[in-house]
A and B are shown apart, each in its own frame.
Chain A
Amino acid sequence: MSKAFVRTEFHPDLPPPASESGPIAWLRHNLFSTWYNSLATFFVLYLAWLVIPPVLDWALFSAVWEANNYKECKAGGTGACWGMIDKRFDLFMYGFYKAEDHWRPNLAIIVFIIAMLPVLFDKLPGRRMCAMFLILGYPAFTVALIRGPIEMSSFNSTMGIALWVVAFVAAAYWGHHNAKKFNAVQSGIGYAIAYIILFIVFIAWGMGLTPTETDTYGGLMLTVMLAGVGIAVALPLGILLALGRRANSMPIVQMLCIGFIEIVRSVPLISVLFMAQFMLPLFMPEGIKFDNVMRALVGFSLFAAAYMAEVVRGGLQAIPKGQFEAADSLGLNFYLNMRLIVLPQALKIVIPGIVSTFIGLFKDTSLVSIIALADLLLVAKQSYTDSNWLGLEHTAYVFIAIIYFCICFSMSRYSMYLEQKLHTGHKR
C-alpha cells in the first residue's frame, strides 16, 4: 500500500518574488522595462539634473528680493529680481487705478468668488440664488463698483427722468401682461427691456462712488475685466447665434448667423481688434465716441461670441431628436421647448466647452497690449523698459507667466472635474 501525500490545507501564499513587488518591482516595470525605456529614464533624469538646479537657483537662491532699481538687482545677485515685482506690484495688479480705490476691484473679486462657490460645488447651499445674482445682479454691481457713476445727460432733467420711469413701467407692465397670457417672446422682451433700463439706471447711479477713468485701468484687473465682459456678452449672444444657425425654418436668419460665425472664426483676433480700433469710429455717427477700452471690448466680445456659438451648437447637436419631438408632442412651443427641455440639457453638456473657450479668451486678452491697452502683458513690458528696471524681462515674463498659468490651469482642472462629474451622471 502506497502512502499518498494528500494536502489537507492550502499552503500559505508565498510572498511574491522580491523582483515583483515593492518599489524595486515598480521601478523595473515602469522605468526599466526595456533597454530603450531605461535609456529614456536616464535621459529624463539627466535633463532634470540639467534644468532644475539652475532654475531653482535663479528663482530662489540667487534672486534679489529687495531693490530700488536694476543696478541694485545686478549687484545683489545673478537671479530673478523680485524686488521689481514688489515695487511695481500695484501696477501689475491694477495699472494706474488710484490706490485709494483698490478696494473696489478687490471687493468685486471677493463677491464674485463667494457667489461662485455654491455654483461651482453643489454641496454648498444657495446655488440657485447665487446663480441668479451672478447673472442678473453682479454685472451691474461690478460695473458700478469699478467705474463709478456714468454721466448721462438725460438724468439731469426732470423730463429725462420722467421718460425713463415711464419707459420702465411700460416695459415691466408689458412683460407682466404677456407673461399672464403665456406669450413667452413678448413677455421676455418686455422683461428684458425693463431689466436693461434698471441696469442703465443702476450704472448711472454708480452706487454714489467717485467716478474713475477707463484709461487708468490696467494690469491683471484689466485682463480679468476684458475676459469677464467678453464672456458675459458672448454667452447670450453665442446662444442666440447657435439657435439661429440651427433654425432650419428660417434660411435667411440661418445664413446670416453662419456668415457671421464663420467669418469671425476664420480671421485672427488681432485683425478683429484692429477693425474695432480703426473702423468702429468710422461706423459711428458723429459725436458718439468710444474710448480705447470700449472699442477693444466690442471687438473682443463679438469674437468670443462666434466661438461660443460653435460650442453651444455642439451641445444642441448632442441632444437626441426624441427630446425635441417629445417636447413638441407635449404641446410646448419653440421657446418653452428651448427653455425647459433643450437648453438646460445642452448647456450642461457644453459647460466644459465653455470653460475651455473662456480659458482661450483669457489668454487672448494679452493681444490688447498690441493696441496699447495696459493689460498684464503691457505692464510687464513697460516694467522692463522703464529706465529704473532696464533689462529685467526674464523676471517680468516669469511673473506674469505664473499668473496666467495659475488661473488657466486651475480653470482647466475644474473643467476636467466637471466633465467627469457630468460623465458619471450619464452612466447607468
Chain B
Amino acid sequence: MTIETVDTQPKPNLLNDPKVRAVIAQIVVVVLFVSFVSYIVSNTAVNLEKLGIKAGFEFLGLQAGFMPTSPNFNLTGFDVSKDTHLDVFYLGLVNTILVSVLGIIAATIVGFFFGVLRLSSNPLLRFVAAAYIEGTRNIPLLLQILVWYFAVLLALPGVKQSINIGDMFFLNLRYLVIPAPIFEDGFGYVVTAIIVGIVATVFMVRWARKRQEKTGEQFPVVLAGLGLIIGLPVVTLFAVGVPLSWDIPALKGFNFQGGVQVISQLTALFLALTFYTGAFIAENVRAGILAVSHGQTEASYALGLRPNRTMSLIVIPQALRVIIPPVTSQYLNLAKNSSLAIAIGYPELVNVFMGISLNQTGKAIEIIGMTMGVYLTISLLISMFMNWYNKRVALVER
C-alpha cells in the first residue's frame, strides 16, 4: 500500500515573493527607462539630421568673435581677436564663482547679524529684523535683482558726474571704480609673510588648546592670531620698502581709465543675492539658536559665565550644528541663483555661454549639458565641503 504524500504546503505563487516582485518591477522599470531614453535619442538624432545640425564639441575650438565682457572687467583676460567659445565658457565660470563666493560670504554675515537681531530683547530691533526677513523672503529674487539694477543702481549719476569718494573711489551708474594695487618686486616677501602668519596661527591655536586642556590656563588666541596674520605682513611690507603702489582711476574720454571697475551688474546681483539669501540664513540662525535648550544658558549663568561668553562658548557651538545643514543648502541656492544674472547682463556662465555662445553656435544639447555639468560639480563640491565641516563640528560632542 502506498501512501499518497500530499504536499500540504501549497506552492507559493512566484509573483507573491517580494524578491521576485522586486526583480520583475525593476526589469519593467529598466525596460521602460531604456526604451524612453532610446526613443528620445532616436528622435533627437532624426531631428538634428533634419535640421542639418551636427552634434559634437568642435565648436569649443572655434573663435567666438564677440566680446562677452567689459575690457575693464575681464578677469580671464579675454581677447576678442583670438579667443574661442571655450574661453567664453571659462570666463563665465570664473564670473559665476566670483559672485557666488562674494555672495556666500556677505550673505553669511548678513544672515547671522539679522538672525541674532531677530532674537533681540529690543522689540524695535526685532521688528526691523522681521520686516527685512519677511520682506525679502516673500518677493521673487528676479524682481529684486531687477529693482537693484534698474531702479537703484541705474538711478545713480552718469559717468561724468560720478560720485567722488576721496579721489580714489568713483561711483556711477555703470560701475564702481576702485584703485587697483600694483605689485612690484619684493611683494613676494609680503605674501610669504601672510602664509607664514596663517600657518603659525594654526599651530598656535592647537598649542593653546592643548595647554588649556592640561593646565586650564587660557592664552589670548585672538589677539596673538591677529598679530601674526596682520602684524607680520605689515612689518614685512615696511621692511622691504613698500613694494606696492596704487593705480588710481581717472576720467578719460567716455570712461574711467585705470583702477578696477566693479560693474553695476555685479553690484546689483551681489546685493540682491546677499540680501535674499541672507534672509533665509537669518531664519536658519534664529531656529538654530532657539533649538539650544534654555537650560544650557541657565546652567552657564549658574557657572558664572558672562552673557557674551555664554553665547560664544555654550550657545553658538551647539546652535551651529543645527544651523549648518540648512545653511549649506542656502549656499547651493545662492550659487544656482547667480544664473539669474541673465536678466541684467552680468557676464556669468548662463548669460555668456548658455546665452550668447548658444545663439551663435546653435549647439543646444552640448552647451546646456556643459552648463548643467558645471552646476552639478559646484553643488557636489559645496556639499562635500560642508559635510566635512559638519563632521568637524559634530566631533565637539564628546
Contact = CB atoms under 8 A, between A and B. Distances in A.
Interface string A175-208: 0000000000000000000000000000000000
A249 B143 contact: no
A37 B339 CA distance: 40
A282 B55 CA distance: 12
A253 B30 CA distance: 8
B17 to A, nearest CB: 11
A404 B372 contact: no
B270 to A, nearest CB: 17
Nearest to A252: B26
A40 B113 CA distance: 14
A251 B30 CA distance: 11
B199 interface: no
Interface string A272-299: 0011001101111110000000000000
Interface stretch (B145-153, B202-210, B244-252, B253-261): B145-153
Contact of A31 (B46, B122, B350): B122
Contacts of B46: 285-286
A365 to B, nearest CB: 8
Nearest to B43: A285
A279 B55 CA distance: 13
A170 interface: no
B138 A404 contact: yes
A279 B140 contact: no
Q: How large is the interface on B (under 10, 10 to 19, 20 to 34, 35 or more residues)?
A: 35 or more
B29 A256 contact: yes
Interface string B359-398: 0000011001001100110111000000000000000000
Interface in A260-277: 263, 265-271, 274-275
Contacts of B19: 249
A178 B342 CA distance: 53
Interface stretch (B83-91, B123-131, B165-173, B182-190): B123-131
B146 A397 contact: yes
Given A250-B25, A266-B379, A266-B380, A284 B140 contact: no
A33 interface: yes
A359 B22 contact: no
A404 B142 CA distance: 12
A367 interface: yes
Nearest to B124: A44
User: Chain A interface: which size bin?
Assistant: 35 or more
Interface stretch (A65-73, A144-152, A212-220, A405-413): A405-413
A405 B135 contact: yes
Contact of B339 (A271, A282, A394): A271
Contacts of B25: 250, 253
B121 A30 contact: yes
A351 interface: no
Interface of A: 29-31, 33, 37, 40-41, 44-45, 47, 249-253, 256, 263, 265-271, 274-275, 278-279, 281-286, 359, 363-367, 369-370, 377, 381, 393-394, 397, 400-401, 404-405, 408-409, 412
Given A266-B375, A268-B336, A286-B47, 6 more contacts: A37-B121, A250-B29, A282-B48, A283-B44, A363-B140, A381-B146
Interface of B: 18-19, 22, 25-26, 29-30, 33, 40, 43-44, 46-48, 50, 120-125, 128, 134-135, 137-143, 146-147, 150-151, 332, 336-337, 339-340, 342-343, 350, 354, 358, 364-365, 368, 371-372, 375-376, 378-380
Instruction: Across the A-B interface, give the 3 residue pairs with the lowest CB-CB distance, nearest first.
Output: A266-B379, A408-B138, A278-B364
